[in-house]
A = this chain, B = another copy of it.
Amino acid sequence: MGDLLASLAGAVDASGILTGDDIGPRYTDTRGHGPAGAPACVMRPTSTAEVSAILKLCHDAGRTVVPQGGMTGLVGGGTPGDGDVVLSLERMNAIEEIDPIGRTMIADAGVVLETAHGVADDAGFVLPIDLGARGSATLGGLISTNAGGNRVIRYGMTRQSVLGLEAVLADGTILTSMNRMLKNNAGYDLKQLFIGSEGTLGLVTRCVLRLQPKPLTTSTAFVGIDDFQSVPAFLALLDTKLGGGLGAFEVMWSEYYDFVRDHCPSLKPPLPPNHKYYVVTDALGSNPEADKDRFEAILETAHTQGLIQDGVVAQSDKERDDLWAIREGAGEGFRTIAPMFTYDVSMPITVMDDFATQSMADIEVAFPGAKTLILGHLGDGNLHAVVSVGDGSEAAHRKVNDILYGIIRDAGGSVSAEHGIGTEKRDYLNWSRTDAEVEIMRMLKRTLDPKGILNPGKVI
Protein backbone atom coordinates (compact mmCIF):
# COMPACT_ATOMS: atom_id res chain seq x y z
CA MET A 1 0.00 0.00 0.00
CA GLY A 2 2.85 2.38 0.79
CA ASP A 3 4.03 2.21 -2.79
CA LEU A 4 0.56 2.96 -4.12
CA LEU A 5 0.10 5.87 -1.71
CA ALA A 6 3.40 7.34 -2.83
CA SER A 7 2.41 6.97 -6.47
CA LEU A 8 -0.99 8.52 -5.81
CA ALA A 9 0.60 11.45 -4.01
CA GLY A 10 2.73 12.01 -7.07
CA ALA A 11 -0.31 12.21 -9.32
CA VAL A 12 -1.81 15.29 -7.65
CA ASP A 13 -0.77 18.51 -5.92
CA ALA A 14 -0.22 18.74 -2.18
CA SER A 15 -3.92 19.37 -1.50
CA GLY A 16 -4.90 16.48 -3.70
CA ILE A 17 -4.42 13.67 -1.21
CA LEU A 18 -5.62 13.25 2.36
CA THR A 19 -4.59 10.46 4.69
CA GLY A 20 -5.06 9.48 8.31
CA ASP A 21 -6.60 12.10 10.56
CA ASP A 22 -6.88 14.55 7.65
CA ILE A 23 -9.77 12.46 6.32
CA GLY A 24 -12.71 14.39 7.70
CA PRO A 25 -16.26 13.18 8.29
CA ARG A 26 -17.35 14.52 4.89
CA TYR A 27 -15.81 11.44 3.31
CA THR A 28 -17.11 8.80 5.71
CA ASP A 29 -20.42 10.11 7.03
CA THR A 30 -23.01 8.78 4.64
CA ARG A 31 -26.16 9.61 6.60
CA GLY A 32 -26.11 6.31 8.39
CA HIS A 33 -26.56 4.22 5.27
CA GLY A 34 -24.19 1.36 5.94
CA PRO A 35 -21.21 1.75 8.24
CA ALA A 36 -18.28 3.42 6.52
CA GLY A 37 -14.85 1.86 6.83
CA ALA A 38 -11.51 3.64 7.07
CA PRO A 39 -10.40 4.65 3.57
CA ALA A 40 -6.70 4.36 2.74
CA CYS A 41 -6.73 7.90 1.41
CA VAL A 42 -8.92 10.54 -0.17
CA MET A 43 -7.90 11.76 -3.62
CA ARG A 44 -9.04 15.22 -4.69
CA PRO A 45 -8.04 15.62 -8.33
CA THR A 46 -8.46 18.85 -10.27
CA SER A 47 -8.69 17.51 -13.82
CA THR A 48 -9.86 14.56 -15.87
CA ALA A 49 -6.21 13.74 -16.55
CA GLU A 50 -5.57 13.44 -12.82
CA VAL A 51 -8.65 11.24 -12.39
CA SER A 52 -7.29 9.06 -15.16
CA ALA A 53 -3.85 8.83 -13.54
CA ILE A 54 -5.39 7.91 -10.17
CA LEU A 55 -7.60 5.22 -11.66
CA LYS A 56 -4.75 3.76 -13.69
CA LEU A 57 -2.61 3.45 -10.56
CA CYS A 58 -5.44 1.87 -8.57
CA HIS A 59 -6.33 -0.43 -11.45
CA ASP A 60 -2.77 -1.66 -11.78
CA ALA A 61 -2.63 -2.24 -8.04
CA GLY A 62 -6.09 -3.84 -7.88
CA ARG A 63 -7.17 -1.25 -5.34
CA THR A 64 -10.88 -0.40 -4.98
CA VAL A 65 -12.03 3.16 -5.59
CA VAL A 66 -15.15 4.88 -4.21
CA PRO A 67 -16.20 8.02 -6.10
CA GLN A 68 -17.84 10.81 -4.14
CA GLY A 69 -19.77 13.94 -5.06
CA GLY A 70 -21.75 16.03 -2.61
CA MET A 71 -22.52 13.02 -0.37
CA THR A 72 -26.24 13.71 -0.32
CA GLY A 73 -27.31 10.31 -1.66
CA LEU A 74 -29.86 8.33 0.29
CA VAL A 75 -28.79 4.73 -0.38
CA GLY A 76 -25.13 4.60 0.65
CA GLY A 77 -23.77 4.91 -2.89
CA GLY A 78 -20.72 6.85 -1.70
CA THR A 79 -19.90 4.85 1.41
CA PRO A 80 -16.23 3.79 1.54
CA GLY A 81 -14.98 0.56 3.03
CA ASP A 82 -11.74 -0.19 4.82
CA GLY A 83 -8.74 0.44 2.58
CA ASP A 84 -10.70 1.97 -0.29
CA VAL A 85 -9.31 4.92 -2.18
CA VAL A 86 -11.95 7.66 -2.01
CA LEU A 87 -12.00 9.81 -5.15
CA SER A 88 -13.80 13.07 -4.51
CA LEU A 89 -14.63 15.29 -7.47
CA GLU A 90 -15.13 18.31 -5.18
CA ARG A 91 -12.22 20.31 -6.62
CA MET A 92 -13.37 19.88 -10.22
CA ASN A 93 -15.90 22.66 -9.97
CA ALA A 94 -15.56 24.94 -12.97
CA ILE A 95 -18.40 25.94 -15.26
CA GLU A 96 -16.57 26.10 -18.57
CA GLU A 97 -19.17 27.57 -20.86
CA ILE A 98 -22.74 28.70 -21.32
CA ASP A 99 -23.97 28.71 -24.92
CA PRO A 100 -27.06 30.94 -24.96
CA ILE A 101 -27.86 30.06 -28.58
CA GLY A 102 -27.55 26.29 -28.30
CA ARG A 103 -28.76 26.55 -24.70
CA THR A 104 -26.14 24.30 -23.18
CA MET A 105 -23.90 24.43 -20.13
CA ILE A 106 -20.53 22.69 -20.01
CA ALA A 107 -19.41 22.01 -16.47
CA ASP A 108 -17.20 19.87 -14.28
CA ALA A 109 -18.68 17.03 -12.26
CA GLY A 110 -17.93 18.68 -8.94
CA VAL A 111 -20.04 21.79 -9.56
CA VAL A 112 -22.71 22.13 -6.86
CA LEU A 113 -26.23 22.11 -8.31
CA GLU A 114 -27.19 25.42 -6.71
CA THR A 115 -24.14 27.06 -8.28
CA ALA A 116 -25.16 25.74 -11.69
CA HIS A 117 -28.70 27.02 -11.11
CA GLY A 118 -27.34 30.48 -10.44
CA VAL A 119 -25.18 30.57 -13.56
CA ALA A 120 -28.08 29.32 -15.70
CA ASP A 121 -30.37 31.90 -14.16
CA ASP A 122 -27.92 34.73 -14.82
CA ALA A 123 -27.86 33.68 -18.48
CA GLY A 124 -31.67 33.75 -18.65
CA PHE A 125 -32.31 29.99 -18.48
CA VAL A 126 -33.28 27.31 -16.05
CA LEU A 127 -31.34 24.11 -15.41
CA PRO A 128 -34.34 21.91 -14.65
CA ILE A 129 -32.61 19.30 -12.48
CA ASP A 130 -33.73 20.22 -8.97
CA LEU A 131 -34.12 18.62 -5.57
CA GLY A 132 -33.88 19.47 -1.90
CA ALA A 133 -30.14 18.76 -1.62
CA ARG A 134 -29.32 21.39 -4.25
CA GLY A 135 -26.94 23.21 -1.91
CA SER A 136 -24.58 20.23 -1.67
CA ALA A 137 -25.38 17.76 -4.46
CA THR A 138 -22.98 17.90 -7.40
CA LEU A 139 -23.63 17.51 -11.11
CA GLY A 140 -21.53 14.36 -11.26
CA GLY A 141 -23.47 12.77 -8.42
CA LEU A 142 -26.81 13.80 -9.93
CA ILE A 143 -25.82 12.26 -13.26
CA SER A 144 -24.37 9.10 -11.69
CA THR A 145 -27.64 8.53 -9.85
CA ASN A 146 -29.98 9.83 -12.60
CA ALA A 147 -31.54 12.03 -9.94
CA GLY A 148 -35.25 12.89 -9.99
CA GLY A 149 -37.06 15.56 -7.98
CA ASN A 150 -40.23 17.59 -8.17
CA ARG A 151 -39.85 18.81 -11.78
CA VAL A 152 -39.59 15.39 -13.44
CA ILE A 153 -43.16 15.56 -14.70
CA ARG A 154 -42.21 18.65 -16.75
CA TYR A 155 -38.56 18.09 -17.69
CA GLY A 156 -37.81 14.40 -17.10
CA MET A 157 -35.12 12.79 -14.98
CA THR A 158 -31.52 14.02 -14.99
CA ARG A 159 -30.86 11.65 -17.92
CA GLN A 160 -32.96 13.87 -20.16
CA SER A 161 -30.92 16.96 -19.36
CA VAL A 162 -27.56 15.34 -20.18
CA LEU A 163 -26.44 15.83 -23.79
CA GLY A 164 -22.88 14.67 -23.38
CA LEU A 165 -20.32 13.73 -20.79
CA GLU A 166 -16.75 12.77 -20.14
CA ALA A 167 -16.05 9.69 -18.08
CA VAL A 168 -12.97 7.81 -16.95
CA LEU A 169 -13.10 4.04 -17.06
CA ALA A 170 -11.71 1.71 -14.43
CA ASP A 171 -8.34 1.37 -16.19
CA GLY A 172 -7.92 5.11 -16.63
CA THR A 173 -9.19 5.31 -20.21
CA ILE A 174 -10.73 8.73 -20.82
CA LEU A 175 -13.98 8.60 -22.74
CA THR A 176 -14.77 12.05 -24.06
CA SER A 177 -18.31 12.12 -25.39
CA MET A 178 -19.13 15.80 -24.97
CA ASN A 179 -21.94 15.94 -27.50
CA ARG A 180 -23.71 19.33 -27.54
CA MET A 181 -26.58 18.50 -29.89
CA LEU A 182 -30.07 17.33 -29.03
CA LYS A 183 -29.73 14.71 -31.74
CA ASN A 184 -26.79 12.44 -32.36
CA ASN A 185 -27.40 8.96 -33.72
CA ALA A 186 -23.80 8.29 -34.72
CA GLY A 187 -23.37 4.88 -33.13
CA TYR A 188 -24.23 3.73 -29.63
CA ASP A 189 -25.27 6.35 -27.08
CA LEU A 190 -22.45 5.55 -24.66
CA LYS A 191 -23.28 8.25 -22.14
CA GLN A 192 -26.30 6.21 -21.06
CA LEU A 193 -23.91 3.67 -19.49
CA PHE A 194 -22.70 6.20 -16.95
CA ILE A 195 -26.03 7.87 -16.14
CA GLY A 196 -27.65 6.14 -13.19
CA SER A 197 -24.99 3.45 -12.75
CA GLU A 198 -23.73 5.04 -9.52
CA GLY A 199 -20.07 5.15 -10.46
CA THR A 200 -19.79 1.39 -10.92
CA LEU A 201 -19.00 1.54 -14.66
CA GLY A 202 -16.95 4.73 -14.86
CA LEU A 203 -16.48 8.12 -13.23
CA VAL A 204 -18.20 11.14 -14.75
CA THR A 205 -15.80 14.09 -14.78
CA ARG A 206 -17.47 16.66 -17.08
CA CYS A 207 -20.86 17.13 -18.72
CA VAL A 208 -22.87 19.04 -21.28
CA LEU A 209 -26.29 19.90 -19.87
CA ARG A 210 -29.37 21.14 -21.67
CA LEU A 211 -30.87 24.40 -20.44
CA GLN A 212 -34.53 25.36 -20.75
CA PRO A 213 -36.30 28.69 -21.16
CA LYS A 214 -37.44 30.18 -17.88
CA PRO A 215 -41.13 29.83 -17.13
CA LEU A 216 -42.63 33.31 -16.81
CA THR A 217 -45.38 32.39 -14.37
CA THR A 218 -46.00 29.76 -11.72
CA SER A 219 -49.50 29.06 -10.44
CA THR A 220 -49.91 26.79 -7.44
CA ALA A 221 -52.95 25.05 -6.00
CA PHE A 222 -53.53 22.78 -3.01
CA VAL A 223 -56.64 20.63 -3.34
CA GLY A 224 -58.53 17.94 -1.45
CA ILE A 225 -59.92 14.84 -3.19
CA ASP A 226 -62.20 12.18 -1.72
CA ASP A 227 -61.75 9.17 -4.02
CA PHE A 228 -58.58 7.81 -5.56
CA GLN A 229 -59.79 7.43 -9.13
CA SER A 230 -60.31 11.18 -9.27
CA VAL A 231 -56.61 11.78 -8.55
CA PRO A 232 -55.26 10.52 -11.92
CA ALA A 233 -58.35 11.98 -13.62
CA PHE A 234 -57.49 15.40 -12.16
CA LEU A 235 -53.89 14.89 -13.30
CA ALA A 236 -55.08 14.06 -16.82
CA LEU A 237 -57.32 17.12 -16.92
CA LEU A 238 -54.48 19.42 -15.85
CA ASP A 239 -52.05 17.81 -18.29
CA THR A 240 -54.45 18.20 -21.19
CA LYS A 241 -55.62 21.71 -20.39
CA LEU A 242 -52.17 23.07 -19.54
CA GLY A 243 -50.52 21.88 -22.73
CA GLY A 244 -46.90 21.31 -21.74
CA GLY A 245 -47.18 23.47 -18.64
CA LEU A 246 -47.82 21.03 -15.81
CA GLY A 247 -44.87 21.64 -13.51
CA ALA A 248 -45.52 19.44 -10.48
CA PHE A 249 -48.21 17.10 -9.18
CA GLU A 250 -47.58 15.85 -5.67
CA VAL A 251 -50.02 13.67 -3.77
CA MET A 252 -50.30 13.16 -0.02
CA TRP A 253 -52.46 10.47 1.55
CA SER A 254 -54.61 11.69 4.44
CA GLU A 255 -52.44 9.94 7.04
CA TYR A 256 -49.57 12.19 6.00
CA TYR A 257 -51.75 15.32 6.08
CA ASP A 258 -53.02 14.40 9.55
CA PHE A 259 -49.44 13.85 10.66
CA VAL A 260 -48.45 17.31 9.46
CA ARG A 261 -51.39 18.82 11.34
CA ASP A 262 -50.45 17.00 14.54
CA HIS A 263 -46.65 17.13 14.46
CA CYS A 264 -45.60 20.23 12.51
CA PRO A 265 -46.80 23.27 14.46
CA SER A 266 -44.94 25.69 12.21
CA LEU A 267 -46.86 24.61 9.10
CA LYS A 268 -50.27 25.94 8.09
CA PRO A 269 -52.51 23.23 6.65
CA PRO A 270 -54.71 25.10 4.16
CA LEU A 271 -57.68 22.70 4.03
CA PRO A 272 -59.83 20.85 6.56
CA PRO A 273 -58.74 17.28 7.33
CA ASN A 274 -61.77 15.48 5.95
CA HIS A 275 -60.35 14.50 2.55
CA LYS A 276 -58.66 11.23 1.67
CA TYR A 277 -56.03 12.71 -0.67
CA TYR A 278 -54.35 16.08 -0.99
CA VAL A 279 -52.55 17.35 -4.07
CA VAL A 280 -50.19 20.29 -4.51
CA THR A 281 -49.69 21.18 -8.14
CA ASP A 282 -47.82 23.83 -10.13
CA ALA A 283 -48.64 25.18 -13.58
CA LEU A 284 -45.67 26.77 -15.34
CA GLY A 285 -46.76 29.34 -17.86
CA SER A 286 -45.59 31.98 -20.25
CA ASN A 287 -48.43 34.49 -20.28
CA PRO A 288 -48.44 36.75 -17.21
CA GLU A 289 -51.70 38.42 -18.25
CA ALA A 290 -53.75 35.27 -18.51
CA ASP A 291 -52.16 32.25 -16.83
CA LYS A 292 -53.61 32.59 -13.35
CA ASP A 293 -57.18 33.11 -14.57
CA ARG A 294 -56.85 30.14 -16.86
CA PHE A 295 -55.46 27.97 -14.05
CA GLU A 296 -58.35 28.92 -11.79
CA ALA A 297 -60.82 28.19 -14.59
CA ILE A 298 -59.33 24.70 -15.00
CA LEU A 299 -59.65 24.10 -11.26
CA GLU A 300 -63.27 25.26 -11.45
CA THR A 301 -63.84 22.73 -14.23
CA ALA A 302 -62.27 20.00 -12.10
CA HIS A 303 -64.55 20.98 -9.22
CA THR A 304 -67.63 20.99 -11.45
CA GLN A 305 -66.69 17.56 -12.77
CA GLY A 306 -66.40 16.28 -9.21
CA LEU A 307 -62.69 15.53 -9.51
CA ILE A 308 -61.70 17.79 -6.61
CA GLN A 309 -63.77 18.66 -3.57
CA ASP A 310 -61.92 21.65 -2.18
CA GLY A 311 -58.89 23.76 -2.98
CA VAL A 312 -56.92 26.97 -2.59
CA VAL A 313 -54.77 28.85 -5.09
CA ALA A 314 -51.67 30.70 -3.91
CA GLN A 315 -52.09 34.46 -4.25
CA SER A 316 -48.45 35.31 -3.54
CA ASP A 317 -45.01 33.76 -3.45
CA LYS A 318 -45.35 33.53 0.32
CA GLU A 319 -48.58 31.57 -0.01
CA ARG A 320 -46.95 29.31 -2.58
CA ASP A 321 -44.09 28.59 -0.20
CA ASP A 322 -46.57 27.84 2.58
CA LEU A 323 -48.50 25.38 0.41
CA TRP A 324 -45.32 23.62 -0.71
CA ALA A 325 -44.07 23.47 2.87
CA ILE A 326 -46.87 20.99 3.64
CA ARG A 327 -45.27 18.63 1.12
CA GLU A 328 -41.61 19.40 1.72
CA GLY A 329 -41.18 20.95 5.13
CA ALA A 330 -42.25 18.22 7.54
CA GLY A 331 -38.78 17.72 9.00
CA GLU A 332 -39.80 18.97 12.45
CA GLY A 333 -42.50 16.31 12.53
CA PHE A 334 -40.24 13.53 11.28
CA ARG A 335 -37.81 14.23 14.09
CA THR A 336 -40.57 13.41 16.60
CA ILE A 337 -41.06 9.91 15.17
CA ALA A 338 -37.40 8.98 14.64
CA PRO A 339 -36.03 6.43 14.02
CA MET A 340 -37.80 6.00 10.73
CA PHE A 341 -37.26 4.20 7.46
CA THR A 342 -37.81 5.96 4.15
CA TYR A 343 -38.78 4.44 0.81
CA ASP A 344 -38.70 5.52 -2.80
CA VAL A 345 -40.67 3.17 -5.01
CA SER A 346 -42.44 3.31 -8.33
CA MET A 347 -45.41 1.42 -9.70
CA PRO A 348 -48.21 1.83 -12.21
CA ILE A 349 -50.56 4.59 -11.01
CA THR A 350 -53.52 2.21 -11.07
CA VAL A 351 -52.10 0.13 -8.20
CA MET A 352 -50.93 3.01 -6.02
CA ASP A 353 -53.89 3.20 -3.72
CA ASP A 354 -53.85 -0.55 -3.17
CA PHE A 355 -50.14 -0.27 -2.41
CA ALA A 356 -50.80 2.43 0.18
CA THR A 357 -53.70 0.59 1.81
CA GLN A 358 -51.89 -2.74 1.95
CA SER A 359 -48.63 -1.21 3.17
CA MET A 360 -50.33 0.55 6.05
CA ALA A 361 -52.30 -2.56 6.97
CA ASP A 362 -49.43 -5.04 6.76
CA ILE A 363 -47.06 -2.81 8.72
CA GLU A 364 -49.72 -2.30 11.38
CA VAL A 365 -50.04 -6.06 11.74
CA ALA A 366 -46.28 -6.51 12.06
CA PHE A 367 -45.74 -3.43 14.24
CA PRO A 368 -48.95 -2.38 16.01
CA GLY A 369 -49.13 1.39 16.42
CA ALA A 370 -46.60 2.03 13.62
CA LYS A 371 -46.84 5.18 11.53
CA THR A 372 -46.82 4.72 7.74
CA LEU A 373 -47.00 7.95 5.75
CA ILE A 374 -47.41 7.88 1.97
CA LEU A 375 -46.82 10.72 -0.44
CA GLY A 376 -45.03 11.40 -3.68
CA HIS A 377 -44.76 12.25 -7.34
CA LEU A 378 -47.91 10.50 -8.54
CA GLY A 379 -47.62 11.74 -12.10
CA ASP A 380 -44.24 10.02 -12.39
CA GLY A 381 -45.46 6.76 -10.87
CA ASN A 382 -43.25 7.45 -7.87
CA LEU A 383 -44.26 7.29 -4.20
CA HIS A 384 -42.30 7.84 -1.05
CA ALA A 385 -43.15 6.11 2.22
CA VAL A 386 -41.98 7.12 5.67
CA VAL A 387 -42.31 4.35 8.22
CA SER A 388 -41.78 4.61 11.96
CA VAL A 389 -42.19 1.40 13.97
CA GLY A 390 -40.58 2.55 17.23
CA ASP A 391 -37.50 0.42 16.53
CA GLY A 392 -34.56 1.45 14.37
CA SER A 393 -32.82 -1.93 14.42
CA GLU A 394 -31.52 -3.60 11.30
CA ALA A 395 -33.97 -6.45 11.92
CA ALA A 396 -36.95 -4.10 12.02
CA HIS A 397 -35.68 -2.30 8.92
CA ARG A 398 -35.39 -5.56 7.03
CA LYS A 399 -38.84 -6.65 8.12
CA VAL A 400 -40.39 -3.41 6.83
CA ASN A 401 -38.34 -3.70 3.63
CA ASP A 402 -39.65 -7.21 3.07
CA ILE A 403 -43.24 -6.07 3.54
CA LEU A 404 -43.05 -3.03 1.26
CA TYR A 405 -40.80 -4.46 -1.43
CA GLY A 406 -42.90 -7.62 -1.48
CA ILE A 407 -45.99 -5.59 -2.34
CA ILE A 408 -43.96 -3.69 -4.97
CA ARG A 409 -42.64 -6.90 -6.49
CA ASP A 410 -46.12 -8.33 -6.83
CA ALA A 411 -47.29 -5.09 -8.46
CA GLY A 412 -44.52 -5.04 -11.07
CA GLY A 413 -43.02 -1.92 -9.52
CA SER A 414 -39.49 -0.84 -8.73
CA VAL A 415 -37.66 -0.78 -5.39
CA SER A 416 -35.97 2.42 -6.51
CA ALA A 417 -37.73 5.11 -8.48
CA GLU A 418 -35.13 7.83 -8.11
CA HIS A 419 -32.73 7.29 -5.20
CA GLY A 420 -30.80 4.42 -6.78
CA ILE A 421 -29.64 1.11 -5.33
CA GLY A 422 -26.33 1.88 -3.58
CA THR A 423 -25.66 -0.53 -0.75
CA GLU A 424 -29.02 -0.15 0.91
CA LYS A 425 -31.22 -1.76 -1.73
CA ARG A 426 -28.72 -4.13 -3.27
CA ASP A 427 -30.31 -7.20 -1.69
CA TYR A 428 -33.62 -6.20 -3.25
CA LEU A 429 -32.47 -5.44 -6.80
CA ASN A 430 -33.78 -8.77 -8.03
CA TRP A 431 -37.16 -8.06 -6.47
CA SER A 432 -37.81 -5.68 -9.32
CA ARG A 433 -35.42 -6.92 -11.99
CA THR A 434 -35.45 -10.29 -13.72
CA ASP A 435 -32.57 -12.74 -13.53
CA ALA A 436 -31.71 -11.95 -17.14
CA GLU A 437 -31.59 -8.23 -16.38
CA VAL A 438 -29.30 -8.73 -13.40
CA GLU A 439 -27.07 -11.08 -15.39
CA ILE A 440 -26.65 -8.52 -18.18
CA MET A 441 -25.90 -5.84 -15.61
CA ARG A 442 -23.15 -8.11 -14.29
CA MET A 443 -21.90 -8.72 -17.82
CA LEU A 444 -21.60 -4.95 -18.39
CA LYS A 445 -19.83 -4.56 -15.07
CA ARG A 446 -17.33 -7.32 -15.93
CA THR A 447 -16.71 -5.77 -19.35
CA LEU A 448 -16.14 -2.20 -18.23
CA ASP A 449 -14.55 -2.94 -14.87
CA PRO A 450 -13.05 -6.43 -15.10
CA LYS A 451 -11.14 -6.12 -11.82
CA GLY A 452 -14.20 -4.79 -9.99
CA ILE A 453 -12.39 -1.78 -8.56
CA LEU A 454 -15.12 0.84 -9.13
CA ASN A 455 -17.45 1.50 -6.21
CA PRO A 456 -17.37 -2.10 -4.97
CA GLY A 457 -20.48 -3.52 -3.35
CA LYS A 458 -22.79 -0.94 -4.87
CA VAL A 459 -25.77 -1.68 -7.16
CA ILE A 460 -24.87 -5.31 -8.05
Q: Name the contact of A429 in the complex, choosing from B99, B159, B186, B440 (C-beta under 8 A).
A: B186
Q: Name the contact of A381 in the complex, choosing from B183, B242, B438 (C-beta under 8 A).
A: B183
Q: Does A380 contact B (CB under 8 A)?
A: yes
Binding stretch for chain B, among A63-71, A209-217, A307-315 = A209-217
Give me 23 A-to-B residue pairs in the complex whose CB atoms sit less than 8 angstroms apart, sorted by A's number.
A99-B350, A103-B236, A146-B185, A148-B183, A154-B244, A173-B436, A177-B433, A180-B348, A181-B347, A181-B348, A184-B414, A184-B417, A185-B417, A185-B420, A185-B421, A186-B421, A186-B432, A187-B438, A188-B193, A188-B201, A188-B441, A188-B444, A243-B245
Q: Are B350 and A185 touching (Cβ within 8 A)?
A: no
State the 9 A-B residue pairs at the shortest beta-carbon distance, nearest first: A244-B244, A192-B192, A181-B381, A243-B286, A181-B346, A183-B417, A213-B240, A184-B414, A447-B447
Shortest CB distance A459–B (Å): 6
Q: Which residues of B contact A204 (CB under 8 A)?
A: none
Q: Are A418 and B183 touching (Cβ within 8 A)?
A: yes
Q: Which residues of B contact A195 (CB under 8 A)?
A: 189
Q: Name the contact of A382 in the complex, choosing from B153, B174, B181, B413 (C-beta under 8 A).
A: B181
Residue of B nearest to A169 (CB): B440
Q: Does A47 contact B (CB under 8 A)?
A: no
Q: How far is the CA of A244 from the CA of B283 in the complex (A)?
A: 11
Given A440-B190, A441-B187: A101 touches B433 (CB 8 Å cut-off): no
Q: Does A176 contact B (CB under 8 A)?
A: yes
Q: Which residues of B contact A441 (CB under 8 A)?
A: 187-188, 190
- List 4 extra interface pairs beyond A101-B232, A102-B349, CB under 8 A: A152-B183, A177-B433, A181-B414, A190-B437
